[in-house]
Amino acid sequence: MADSPFIIDITRENFQQVIEASFKVPVLVDFWASWCQPCLALMPILARLAEEYGGKFLLGKLNTEEEQEIAARFGIRSIPNVKLFRDGQPVDEFMGALPEAAVREFIDRHVARESDAKVAEALEQLRTGNAAGAVVLLDEAREADPDNPRVTLALAQAQAATGDVAAAEATLDGLPPGERDKPEVATLRSHLFFENELAGASAAPELEARLEADPEDHEALYQLAVRKVVDRDYDAAMELLLELMRKDRSFGDDAGRSTLLKVFDMLGDDPRVGRFRSRMASLLY
């Protein structure tokens, strides 16, 4: 298989070219060494799957003894270490000589599948406001390809957009364990939490009127903050939650702080998180 078009021996000369290929298809980089027995056990599995998938992903083999600089750049301390690159960046990895079934499951999370076309169509429907139509398309896609986690996540997003929070939560619960901790899943779960919190809540103008009449109406303050989150006015939401922390740490078992942490989870590496986290900490100590 040395001349396979799907398997490449990586060197410092061709490394960048291999990584640039990840803008077209996933690139699996296997960090290995000749003295590593688990590496030698894993290698034929990866090579066989690269051939079987026929170009749906590329396999790059990087000898860490010969290319120590590249290995150091990616913090490789234990091998085998297999990193998957998309759009020039590592997005997933596994370590150790996994059995073939586990490696196949890992790859399937990232390679293109026939059902992905229907996912793309459904997401376009979702962007244009047709959430119900997106749900229909994704139900069809999940029936045809129930093991595609991208279908499952998109279906949960569409169900949430229709207001069916319970269905969205149940759909997310159906994700395989390896998918449940992904950042996009955590973000959607946080969104569902806020949608649930708004059940039966008053509209923003009414909440604002309540606060004007009684600035110590902490229930109105909390509901208004949650509504701002759902409306994606995150700065206003975080300001309100900080205000709730300042006024009443006992409200809802410190709901100001716990809800603020959920907003941080939603925003991920947004620079605002650091600023508001610092302000939150100043209220704790």
Contact 121, 89 (CB under 8 A): no
Lowest mean pLDDT among 93-97, 113-117, 130-134, 249-253: 113-117
What confidence score (pLDDT) does residue 2 get?
52
- Please indicate whether residue 36 is annotated as part of the active site: yes
pLDDT band at 3 (very low <50, low <70, confident <90, very high): confident
If you average pLDDT over residues 153-163, what whole number do you get? 93
Strand order of the β-sheet with 58-63 is 7-9, 58-63, 27-32, 81-86, 89-95
If you average pLDDT over residues 103-120, what whole number do you get? 88
Q: Report CA dihedral (223, 231, 262, 120) to the nearest 10 degrees.
A: 150
Lowest mean pLDDT among 34-43, 139-148, 255-264: 139-148
Condensed to tens digits (0 to 9), the pLDDT of residues 172-227 reads 998 887 778 788 888 889 889 998 888 878 899 999 999 999 999 999 999 999 99
Contact 147, 170 (CB under 8 A): no
If you average pLDDT over residues 254-282, what whole number do you get? 93
Cα separation, 150 vs 123, whole angstroms: 11
Does the predicted TM-score (pTM) go above 0.75? no
- Please indicate whether residue 50 is annotated as part of the active site: no
Helix axes 149-161, 131-144, angle to 10 degrees: 160
pLDDT band at 99 (very low <50, low <70, confident <90, very high): very high
Q: Point out the catalytic residue in the list 7, 19, 36, 71.
A: 36
* Highest averaged pLDDT of the listed ranges 31-40, 111-120, 259-268: 31-40
What confidence score (pLDDT) does residue 261 get?
93
What confidence score (pLDDT) does residue 96 get?
93
Q: Give CA separation, 60 vs 4, 15, 56, 98, in Å.
A: 11, 9, 13, 17
Cα separation, 239 vs 225, whole angstroms: 8
Domains (range + CATH), the chain: 7-108 (3.40.30.10), 115-182 (1.25.40.10), 204-284 (1.25.40.10)
pLDDT band at 153 (very low <50, low <70, confident <90, very high): very high
Cα separation, 66 vs 9, whole angstroms: 11
Condensed to tens digits (0 to 9), the pLDDT of residues 244-261 reads 999 999 999 999 999 999
Q: Point out the catalytic residue in the list 8, 27, 39, 50.
A: 39
Cα separation, 163 vs 131, whole angstroms: 9
Q: Is the pLDDT of residue 30 over 60?
A: yes
What confidence score (pLDDT) does residue 200 get?
77
What confidence score (pLDDT) does residue 1 get?
44
What confidence score (pLDDT) does residue 266 get?
86
Cα 281 to chain centroid distance, Å, stands at: 27
Condensed to tens digits (0 to 9), the pLDDT of residues 62-86 reads 999 999 999 999 999 999 999 999 9
Whose CA is closest to 181, among 149, 154, 157, 134?
149
What integer best gives the mean pLDDT of the chain? Answer: 92
Residue environment code for 125-164, b if the CB has 16+ CB neighbours within 10 A, otherwise e: bbeeebbebbbebbeebbeebeebbbbbbbbbbbbbbeeb
End-to-end CA distance of the chain: 62
